[in-house]
Amino acid sequence: MSDARARARDLGIAIGALPTGPTNSVLDVEGVGLGHVTITRDTARTGVTCLYLADDTYPRPLVGGGAVLNGLGDCTGFLPLQESGLFESPVWLTSTSQVGRVFDAAFQLELGRHPDIADDIFVPVVAECDDSFLNDVRTMWVQPEDVRAAHEAALASRGSTSPPDEGSVGSGTGMSCLGFKGGIGTSSRVAPGGHTVAVLLMTNFGQRSRLTVDGVPVGRLLPAPVAPPQRQPPPAGSCIGVVVTDAPVDPLGCQRLAARVGLGLARTGSTAHHGSGEIFLAASTTARTDRDLTALDTGPRLAGRALDDLFEAVVDSAEEAVLNSLLMSPTTVGRGGNTSEGLDPDTVVRLLREHGRLGDPA
Q: What pLDDT digit, counting tens, does each position of 265-280 carry?
A: 999 999 999 989 999 9
pLDDT at residue 293 tops 70: no
Assess contact for 201 and 240: CB atoms under 8 A: yes
CA quadruple 221, 224, 230, 233: dihedral positive or negative? negative
Q: Would you say residue 236 has pLDDT above 80?
A: no
pLDDT tops 90 at residue 45? yes
Provide the residue type at 296 as one letter: L
Q: Helix or strand or coil: residue 280?
A: strand
In eight-state DSSP terms, residue 358 is S
- Whole-number Cα distances in Å, 214 to 199, 263, 320, 351, 358: 17, 13, 9, 11, 10
Half-sphere exposure of 178 (CA within 13 A, CB side): 31
Dihedral, CA atoms, 80, 86, 92, 97, nearest 10 degrees?
10
Residues with Cβ within 8 Å of residue 78, at least 6 apart in sequence: 66, 125, 127, 279, 281
> What band does 294 get if pLDDT is binned at 50, 70 and 90?
low
pLDDT in tens, 81-114: 999 999 999 999 999 999 999 999 999 999 999 8
pLDDT value of position 358: 86
Average pLDDT, the chain: 93
pLDDT at 300: 80
Query: Buried (b) or exposed (e) across 155-180, using 16+ Cβ within 10 A?
Result: eebbeeeebbbbbbbbbbbbbbbbbb
Query: Could you tell me if 349 and 360 are in contact, meaning their C-beta atoms sit under 8 angstroms apart?
Result: no
pLDDT band with cut points at 50, 70 and 90 for residue 225: confident
- Establish whether 238 is a catalytic residue: yes
Q: Which residue out of 95, 187, 276, 317 is catalytically annotated?
A: 276
pLDDT value at 1 more than 60:
no
* pLDDT at residue 232, as a whole number: 65
Contacts of 317 (CB under 8 A, 6+ apart): 187, 188, 189, 197, 198, 199, 243, 264
State residue 223's pLDDT score: 86
Of the chain, the percentage scoring pLDDT greater than 90 comes to 85
Contacts of 112 (CB under 8 A, 6+ apart): none
Active-site residue, selected from the candidate residues 25, 95, 187, 238:
238
pLDDT per residue over 144-181, tens digit each? 999 999 999 999 999 999 999 999 999 999 999 999 99
Instruction: Classify domain 9-224+231-354 at the CATH class level.
Output: alpha beta
Alpha-carbon distances, residue 53 vs 27, 56, 83, 157, 246 (angstroms): 10, 9, 19, 12, 11
The predicted pLDDT at position 42 comes to: 96
> What is the torsion angle, in degrees rounded to the nearest 10, for the CA atoms of residue 152, residue 156, residue 159 and residue 163?
-90
Whether residue 295 has pLDDT greater than 80: no
Q: What is the pLDDT of residue 118?
A: 78
- Structure confidence at residue 194 as a pLDDT band (50, 70, 90): very high
Cβ–Cβ under 8 Å, residues 26 and 200: yes
Residue 233 has pLDDT above 80, yes or no: no
pLDDT at 290: 76
End-to-end CA distance of the chain: 22
Distance CA 286, CA 98 (A): 32
Which residues are paired to 310 by β-bridges? none
Which of 241, 261, 265 lies closest to 310, judged by CA? 261
CB 44 within 8 A of CB 139: yes
pLDDT over 60 (residue 80): yes
How many Å apart are CA 296 and CA 203, to the nearest integer?
35
Concerning whether 95 is annotated as a catalytic residue, the answer is no
Q: Which of 166, 278, 312, 319 is catalytic?
A: 278
171 is catalytic: no
pLDDT over 70 percentage in the chain: 93
Task: Give yes or no for residue 119 having a pLDDT over 90.
Answer: no
Choose among 214, 153, 226: nearest CA to 184.
Answer: 153
- Residue 207, pLDDT > 60, answer yes
pLDDT given for residue 325 in this prediction: 98
pLDDT given for residue 335 in this prediction? 94
Helices 308-327 and 251-259: crossing angle in degrees, nearest 10, is 50
pLDDT band at 258 (very low <50, low <70, confident <90, very high): very high
Give the whole-angstrom CA distance, residue 179 versus residue 169.
18
- Give the confidence band of 361 by pLDDT, cuts at 50, 70, 90: low
Q: How is 242-259 classified by DSSP, letter by letter?
A: EEEESS-B-HHHHHHHHH
Q: Over 80: is that where the pLDDT of 257 sits?
A: yes
| Amino acid (1-letter code) at residue 357 | R
